[in-house]
Every structure is written in structure tokens, then in C-alpha cells.
């Protein structure tokens, strides 16, 4: 599997990857001029040791590349893991890459995330962020209808601006931004991917980005089953274990 649909129109696609669990092992063993050709129980114990003791540099020798299509509100949360990804590396250079589609150059039809009537959530009772319970369906229906009207108005103004000769980079000001889908490539080390997963699989993370994190985990786990098992918080991994139909390798 290399493609998972997320939300109403989004997706995550595994484009490429470099390495396996064995790459982590051999990056660690090079200090002693040793190399494994087949992953053994001894190698798995080494991966556990590296993760447990915080020897994380070997996990940065494995890389994953994804294409992601998500609403802008998800993309901007995600972006923080690029600009802040020197959190544990100490070099100021994360070796991550992010390339995103731009409406300075393209005028393809805009696509928007539109929550269904049963997907609107209330404010949380005891927190300044996140969300609470699902709102009454009648309120949800009203919000979905109002959002569609708002998007339609913005799209008409955007198209009118283009027809009037306005450049695309300014015409896009009329588009409702936060729900608009954007497409990007994200390339990151296995360690950075797992850091993202540990943060965004949490129950207090925004639900929409949780859904994308679950897709990233589902696509990554078969490639690095032992390393991810050790780098992902055990409570989060156990939550994902419940859904064995979707993530059979957990």
C-alpha cells in the first residue's frame, strides 16, 4: 500500500524511502567497523537499546518521502515540524525538505475541505485549544451550508479577478484560505517522522491532523517495523493496535 485517502478529498502517498531497520543498525555499528546483512534478534535488541538510551542519530540515516494533499490549516500545523525539527539534532539543519504547490504559478480549480454535518465540534471545556464533543446535527447542517455559501462567494470573486486581468498571486487573496487544499512533498528522517507521529497521534491534537498522522504511520510501519515500534510512544502504538484491519503490522 502506498496511498491512503484522508478527510473528504485529501490523501497521503508514500513516494519513496531510503533504508530499512537494517540501515539503523548499520549506522550504529559503523563505529566498530561492523555491518549486518540480515536483520537478526541481536540487531533488534540494538534498535531497542538505541531508542531507550536516546542514541538517535542512527535513526536519521533512514528517510521517507510523502506527497500530501491536505487543508491549509493542517499544512501550517505540519510545517512547524520542519522549522523546528532541529529539536534533537543540535546542528540547526534538520535535513528535511518541503516543497509546496503555489497559486503564484498555478490556477487549477481550488478544492476545499467541507466538514460533514456530523463533523463540527464544540469548544473544549477545560482547554484553550483542541475541541470537544460533536455539535448537534442541526447546528452542523447550518454551518456546512454557510461554509458552502462562503466558499462559493470567494471563488466567484477569485475568478472575476482573474478574468479582469489580475495576476494569480493577488487574485488568490479572494479565496477562503484555511480550508483550501494544498499539495506538498515532505521528506524527513525516520526520527523526524516519529517525532511528528508522537505529537500528532495524541488525543489532544487537532482531529484533522490526527487523521493524517494515522495515515503516515500506516504507510511507514511496514518499512521500519522495529524502529517505529521503539520510537513511537507505547500508549499511542497500543491505540493504533486496536484497528488491526487498517494497520495489520502493528
Give the model's confidence band at 140: pLDDT under 50 very low, under 70 low, under 90 confident, else very high: very high
- Least trusted range by pLDDT, from 11-15, 81-85, 135-139, 141-145: 81-85
Q: What is the pLDDT of residue 63?
A: 96
Q: What is the pLDDT of residue 89?
A: 47
Contact between 158 and 175 under an 8 Å Cβ cutoff? The reply is yes
In tens, the pLDDT along 67-87 reads: 999 999 999 999 887 755 554
Contact partners, residue 158, CB within 8 Å, separation at least 6: 110, 171, 172, 174, 175
Q: What residue spans of the chain are helical by DSSP H? A: 21-29, 41-53, 72-83, 137-163, 168-171, 190-200, 207-220, 225-231, 234-241
Taking each helix axis from N to C end, the angle separating 190-200 and 72-83, rounded to the nearest 10 degrees, works out to 130
Q: Work out the number of other CB atoms within 10 angstroms of the CB of residue 215.
A: 23
CA distances for 13 relative to 17, 125, 141, 224, angstroms: 12, 36, 31, 17
Q: What is the pLDDT of residue 91?
A: 47
Which position has the grid cell 496511498? 3
As a whole number, mean pLDDT of residues 130-158 equals 95
How far is 55 from 244, CA to CA, in rounded Å?
A: 30
Active site residue 234: no
Contact between 196 and 81 under an 8 Å Cβ cutoff? The reply is yes
Q: What is the pLDDT of residue 106?
A: 65
Q: Which residues on neighbouring strands pair with residue 69, listed in sequence order?
A: 11, 183
Three-state DSSP string of 6-51: ECCCEEEEEEEEECCHHHHHHHHHHHHCCCCCCCCHHHHHHHHHHH
Q: What is the pLDDT of residue 101?
A: 79
How far is 37 from 143, CA to CA, in rounded Å?
A: 57
CA distances for 77 relative to 35, 51, 80, 147, 184, angstroms: 39, 26, 6, 22, 13
Which position has the grid cell 484497528? 243
Q: Is the pLDDT of residue 122 over 70?
A: yes
How far is 185 from 63, CA to CA, in rounded Å?
A: 13
Contact between 141 and 114 under an 8 Å Cβ cutoff? The reply is no
Q: What is the pLDDT of residue 61?
A: 94
- Catalytic residue, candidates 60, 172, 183, 200: 200
Q: Is the pLDDT of residue 241 over 70?
A: no
Identify which of 44, 18, 55 has the alpha carbon closest to the alpha carbon of residue 190: 18
Q: What is the pTM of this model?
A: 0.86
3-class DSSP state for residue 245?
coil
In tens, the pLDDT along 23-49 reads: 999 999 998 888 889 999 999 999 999
Amino acid at each position: 500500500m502506498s496511498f491512503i485517502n484522508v478527510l473528504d478529498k485529501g490523501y497521503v502517498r508514500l513516494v519513496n524511502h531510503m533504508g530499512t531497520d537494517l540501515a539503523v543498525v548499520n549506522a550504529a555499528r559503523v563505529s566498530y567497523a561492523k555491518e549486518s546483512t540480515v536483520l537478526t534478534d541481536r540487531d533488534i535488541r540494538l534498535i531497542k537499546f538505541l531508542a531507550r538510551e536516546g542514541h538517535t542519530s542512527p535513526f536519521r540515516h533512514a528517510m521517507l518521502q510523502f506527497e500530501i494533499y491536505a487543508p491549509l490549516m493542517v499544512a501550517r500545523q505540519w510545517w512547524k515540524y520542519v522549522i523546528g525539527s532541529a529539536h534533537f539534532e543540535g546542528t540547526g539543519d534538520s535535513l528535511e525538505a518541503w516543497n509546496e504547490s503555489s497559486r503564484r504559478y498555478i490556477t487549477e480549480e481550488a478544492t476545499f475541505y467541507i466538514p460533514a454535518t456530523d463533523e463540527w465540534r464544540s469548544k473544549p471545556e477545560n482547554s484553550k485549544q483542541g475541541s470537544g464533543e460533536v455539535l448537534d446535527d442541526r447546528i452542523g447542517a447550518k454551518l456546512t451550508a454557510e461554509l458552502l455559501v462562503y466558499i462559493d462567494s470567494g471563488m466567484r470573486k477569485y475568478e472575476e479577478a482573474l478574468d479582469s486581468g489580475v495576476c494569480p498571486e493577488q487574485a488568490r487573496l479572494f479565496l477562503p484560505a484555511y480550508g483550501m487544499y494544498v499539495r506538498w512533498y515532505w521528506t524527513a528522517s525516520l526520527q523526524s517522522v516519529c517525532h511528528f507521529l508522537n505529537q500528532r497521534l495524541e488525543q489532544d491534537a487537532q482531529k484533522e491532523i490526527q487523521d493524517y498522522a494515522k495515515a503516515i504511520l500506516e504507510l511507514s510501519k511496514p518499512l521500519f517495523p522495529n524502529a517505529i515500534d521503539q520510537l513511537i510512544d507505547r500508549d499511542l502504538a497500543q491505540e493504533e493496535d486496536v484497528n488491526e484491519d487498517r494497520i495489520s503490522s502493528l
